[in-house]
Chains A and B, each alone.
Chain A
Amino acid sequence: MSGSRFEALQSIDRRWIFLALAVAVIAALVVQPVFRDSPGELVVPIFAAIEALAPGTPVLISLDYSPSSAPELEPMAAALTRHCLIRGLPVTYLSLWPTGNHMAGRIVERVIGPEYPDAVEGREWVTLGFQAGGELLVHALLDSLGSRFAADVRGIPLIEIPALAQVTGLNDYGIVVSLSAGTPGLKEWVLYGGDVGAFPLAGGCTGVGAPQFFPYYPRQLLGLMAALKGAAEYEAALNDDYAERVPRVMQATRGMGPQTVAHLVIVAFILLGNAGLFIGERRKRGRR
């Protein structure tokens, strides 16, 4: 190959890269390859902890994300919700983000409504929604949910909600899981909640934030679902134990096919650029 071709390998117009990525992802979405995952080391403790809870033990899921991170975190929320409803564990949804009310609404509309039509709001689940304050909301909820939430999103006072009959503060939950896209989120739950209170804390996070939460595992975080793969691993655990009671292919597992193809495209471009660099430099050294 001539020198100019090696240089060309290192300077492909970015719009060709955009096009290649788009075509690869669309093709994978259309073909829909399904790759079965298996529960990973950091996801198994969360699944096991929920399995170990006695029916009726309340679980708290904090939906600390917005639509921009929903593709990664909503599958986690959906899988956790399915698991809790199958096990008979009442779920409380709240959020440190203003979009949290609508994110909870989506879980109700897309998972609870179609798959668990006998589930009753207030009994199987309750949505407390968003309250401003970020990490200081977590701090306040340690002692009492009522210090910040007078009622759920329907306006029903907390004292009249069966799903909260055993709950005064965070320490009364069997497990608290924060699904977090940024700040405030999982880090604030660790600093202001898990490390101060006496409840098991687990987390789900986007790929962007995942590496920073590894130091908290396992002493400060029971487990961690990291990015779409973490969600797919949890879905795999659900499929292993409750195959007849959950959809065969859930959201994260379906997404891992296009994800795989996109990663391979990006790796290919990185290797292509480096190949051009190495061969070009070898030729330069050869000429000298």
Chain B
Amino acid sequence: MIHPLAVSHDFGVWVGALLTLMVFSFLYRDNPFYKFAEHVFVGVSAAYWMVIGFWTTLWPRVIVPLIPEASRIVSPDTPLPERDLSAVVPAVLGLMMLSRLVPRLSGLARWPTAFVLGTTAGYAVVRYVRSDFMHQIQATIGDGVLIPAAGGGWNVAESLAALVTLSGTIFGLIYFMNTRRGGTVTTPAARIGLLVLMVTFGASFGSAVMARISLLVGRLQELLGDWLGLL
């Protein structure tokens, strides 16, 4: 139901609405209002991430373990935590990472980078093999393609679906292995695999359109509702 116009008196809502209209102005063409809003976003979001990261992670897991007395600043009533010198290691690695800002010292940043890459590789390789390789193969062939029906016989729909899934997965993998540089498809099986992937990409695109429209609907809902009071 549409309500009579009841514009908000909240300053924050007005700021949000004006920034929103500045961004939407880009749809007509690029302009100084849009650029202003974009640069505000860059500055605010960078600082926001720093602040949240500092107070939620750096403070309790680096600064307080190394200097327990510092906890009095934030929690004067709680008992002093114990000193934990193992926090020196990430603190030193972190400072080495910041050395990228100084050209003379930027080589030091290779060590924390190596640590991050080693950690990522070490944790990821086992998990990807388990979840995205073994479990996916198991899910594809695990129940076979003849699915029994509850009352005896075969469940034709489920069996057909299992067959399509199994064959589609195999054809898709064949496509990856049989495509020449430049994207030339070499075999009929690979062509079928390409068609399966086209279905995948089409479904992804349709879903992505849905997602973007939802964002627009949400934004316009707030403009018309919270700002203009029409909804």
Contact = CB atoms under 8 A, between A and B. Distances in A.
Partners in one complex: yes
Contact of B204 (A68, A72, A101, A211): A211
A171 interface: no
Interface in B160-201: 200
Interface string A36-55: 00000000000000000000
Best-surrounded residue of A133, A157, A210 (most CB of chain B within 10 A)? A210
B78 interface: yes
Interface stretch (A84-92, A118-126, A222-230, A233-241): A222-230
Contact of A18 (B27, B127, B131, B139): B27
Interface stretch (A2-10, A258-266, A274-282): A258-266
Given A26-B220, A155-B75, A191-B127, A71 B135 contact: no
Best-surrounded residue of B53, B209, B230 (most CB of chain A within 10 A)? B209
Contacts of B155: none
B35 interface: no
Q: Contact residue range for chain A? A: 35 or more
B216 A69 contact: no
Nearest to B215: A71
B89 to A, nearest CB: 15
A212 B123 CA distance: 21
Given A15-B27, A259-B210, A263-B210, A29 B218 contact: no
Contacts of B219: 71
Interface string B1-40: 1100000000000000000000000011000000000000
B49 A207 contact: no
A124 to B, nearest CB: 23
Nearest to A262: B213
A137 B216 CA distance: 32
Contact of B28 (A15, A101, A130, A227): A15
A131 B208 contact: no
Given A155-B75, A255-B217, A226 B207 contact: yes
B56 A25 contact: no
A219 interface: yes
Interface in B34-83: 48-49, 52-53, 56-57, 60, 74-75, 78, 81
B21 to A, nearest CB: 12
Given A98-B49, A259-B213, A191 B128 contact: yes
Contact of A266 (B49, B56, B209): B209
B173 to A, nearest CB: 14
B62 to A, nearest CB: 11
Contacts of B60: 150
A7 B74 CA distance: 68
Contacts of B75: 155
8 contacts: A30-B230, A71-B214, A98-B56, A101-B56, A131-B56, A155-B75, A206-B214, A208-B204
Interface of A: 15, 18, 21-22, 25-26, 29-30, 32, 68-72, 98-99, 101, 129-133, 135-136, 139, 150, 155, 157, 190-192, 195-196, 206-208, 210-212, 215, 219-220, 226-229, 254-255, 258-259, 262-263, 266
The 3 closest A-B pairs by CB, nearest first: A71-B218, A207-B211, A207-B210
Given A132-B53, A211-B200, 20 more contacts: A15-B27, A29-B224, A30-B2, A68-B215, A70-B218, A71-B221, A98-B56, A131-B56, A133-B57, A191-B127, A207-B208, A207-B209, A207-B212, A211-B207, A227-B207, A255-B217, A255-B218, A258-B213, A259-B214, A263-B209
